[in-house]
Structure 1
């Protein structure tokens, strides 16, 4: 059975390519999802890609992943800086969690420089553009194989 990695994207990432392209680039969420699926397939994984602007839906998917996934790659977007609830859901997972940010949150506004999710993440990738998803999946695959 091919291991499944949930790739979860938070609020406003549905606007990739349209919203602040000088920060987030010109690629769309569809482009990111295709990159994730092709990268996962190359690594012997299946990527289950989802995006929501709703915190509770992301939490529901994290809880669902506990039963179905081998790892999570998550770009919590603005919820990185505000959501203890997402952190709590991730803390209930006993598999790798990789946090991704398209921009370098550490070079942005002060309030964006802290992520609650980072305290649970096995790794954090920030500032690599959408290539960060490919890096995250590669690392997730290595962690899944290592058991």
Structure 2
């Protein structure tokens, strides 16, 4: 039995096939991001040749997710392509580096440095019924009774 004639892949679909082989079961958008360009047409060509298979997988929100994986024919085509080309395979871009974010300083945990006198209200007790409750009282001591100022006669 003779093997089918191998048609070499163009550079763009070949890069997509290598990305699918490297990032097995990946969304098309993830493959696009790793290569830095749209890959929908290349994936369609590779699916038509039988090199890539699309697997439907439902997402958490119920919408379908279409994952791409390389087939046995795709792996064989990739091997034949590498054997026929004397040059080293073209490296594909990896995933993007994470976004650079500023360092967390914990500024909301620092002591309050607001306007002078803005926290003076916390020096005074709150009235609850006939009792005065002072800030910092945790209730372990009996609350102080309201002391009536002496009457002037």
TM range (shorter): under 0.3
What is the TM-score with the length of structure 1 in the denominator?
0.24
What is the TM-score with the length of structure 2 in the denominator?
0.23
Larger Rg: 2
Higher helix share: 1
